Amino acid sequence: MKKIILSGSIILGLLSFSKADAQEVIKKKGYQLTFQSNFAQLDPKLKKRLIETFFIVYPKLAKEYNPATEKNVIFSVDTAYDGVAATSDGKVTFSSNWMIKHPEDIDVVTHEVMHIVQDYGRSVGPGWLTEGIADYARYKFGIDNAGAKWALPALKPEHSYKNSYRITARFFAWIEKSKPGTIKAVNESLRDHTYHNNIWAKLTGKDLDALWSDYVNHPEI
């Protein structure tokens, strides 16, 4: 795919992966996953769970948000990468340190492969929206968020829909409760580069600020 999408507090750019000690190609359900790792201490059970998570969630994300998404994906566990995880051109790079400290966080896969499904290219949308949708997808399709102690946060006075990630994702979950299909439609507008702030009023009858005000007054999801 001719795009670069990275998640987390990471500068956009391609990430290098040097001297992969192991590579495995798995084909299933019409998709191919190439798993690379230069991390000799990677737990085989964790590797298996990461692969299983991909083949469980990626077809679901594709069906829901973008059936034309990339069919060949690369996972790379890299000891040289010091973030959490990042996605670029159909490749997800995972930090070996993150794997050591958070082996239960397999749904980092769900968030990252959603970026592949999003396929916004040179998006006209804001970054908070991209990451909020990815975390909303994790909330909706994640297979073991509870095991990672990952959950949408309770609303706090200082929160804003522009905070991104889980804070934005919770707002989206609230919108979906009364206006199902909204986030899917917004995602499609970002992918075909027709997104504009007025899409929220078109889909829900209210702009973002009015929606947020209603959310603050009645934040139950």
- Give 152-182 pLDDT, tens digit per residue: 999 999 999 999 999 999 999 999 999 999 9
The answer to whether residues 181 and 150 belong to one domain is yes
Whether 14 maps to a domain, the answer reads no
Q: Whole-angstrom distance between the N-terminal and C-terminal Cα of the chain?
A: 35
- Can you tell me the mean pLDDT for 6-23? 45
Which residues, in sequence order, are CB contacts of 55 under 8 Å at separation 6+?
A: 26, 28, 29, 31, 33
Residue 151 belongs to a domain:
yes
Judged on CB neighbours under 10 Å (0-12, 13-18, 19+), 98 is middle
- Taking alpha carbons only, the member of 125, 215, 199, 119 closest to residue 167 is 215
Pairing of strands 22-28, 31-37: antiparallel
Residue 10 has pLDDT above 50, yes or no: no
15 found inside a domain: no
The pLDDT value given to residue 122: 81
Give a yes or no: residue 189 inside a domain: yes
User: Does 148 lie in the same domain as 182?
Assistant: yes
Where in the sequence is the domain holding 32, given as residue range(s)?
22-118
Q: What are the tokens at 185?
A: 């439609």
SS3 192: coil
The last residue of one of the domains, among 62, 92, 118, is 118
* Secondary structure of residue 11 in the 3-state scheme: coil
Q: What local confidence, expressed as pLDDT, does residue 197 receive? A: 95
Q: Taking a C-beta distance cutoff of 8 angstroms, is the pair 76, 20 a contact?
A: yes
Among 73, 99, 118, which residue terminates a domain?
A: 118
Looking at 118, 139, 165, the residue that finishes a domain is 118
pLDDT of residue 19: 47
Q: Is residue 7 part of a domain?
A: no
Examine the domain organization and report whether 152 and 98 are in the same domain: no
If you search the block for the tokens 């005000």, which residue do you land on? Answer: 213
Residue 54 maps to which CATH number? 1.10.390.10
pLDDT band at 3 (very low <50, low <70, confident <90, very high): very low
Q: How far apart are CA 57 and CA 51, in angstroms?
A: 10
| 33-81 pLDDT tens trace | 999 999 999 999 999 999 999 999 999 999 999 999 999 999 999 999 9
pLDDT confidence bin for 21, thresholds 50/70/90: low
pLDDT level of residue 2 (50, 70, 90 thresholds) = very low
One-letter identity of residue 81: Y
What's CA 192's distance to the chain center, in Å? 18
How is the beta sheet containing 72-78 ordered, strand by strand?
22-28, 31-37, 72-78, 91-95, 85-88
Are residues 107 and 83 part of one domain? yes
Task: Count the Cβ atoms, other than its own, within 10 Å of residue 138.
Answer: 27
Domain count within the chain: 2
Task: Give the residue from 50, 49, 69 showing the smallest Cα distance to 59.
Answer: 69
Are 7 and 112 in contact by the 8 Å Cβ rule? The answer is: yes
Burial of 116 (0-12, 13-18, 19+ CB in 10 A): buried
By DSSP bridging, strand 91-95 and strand 22-28 are unpaired
Q: Is residue 98 domain-shared with residue 158, that is, in the same domain?
A: no
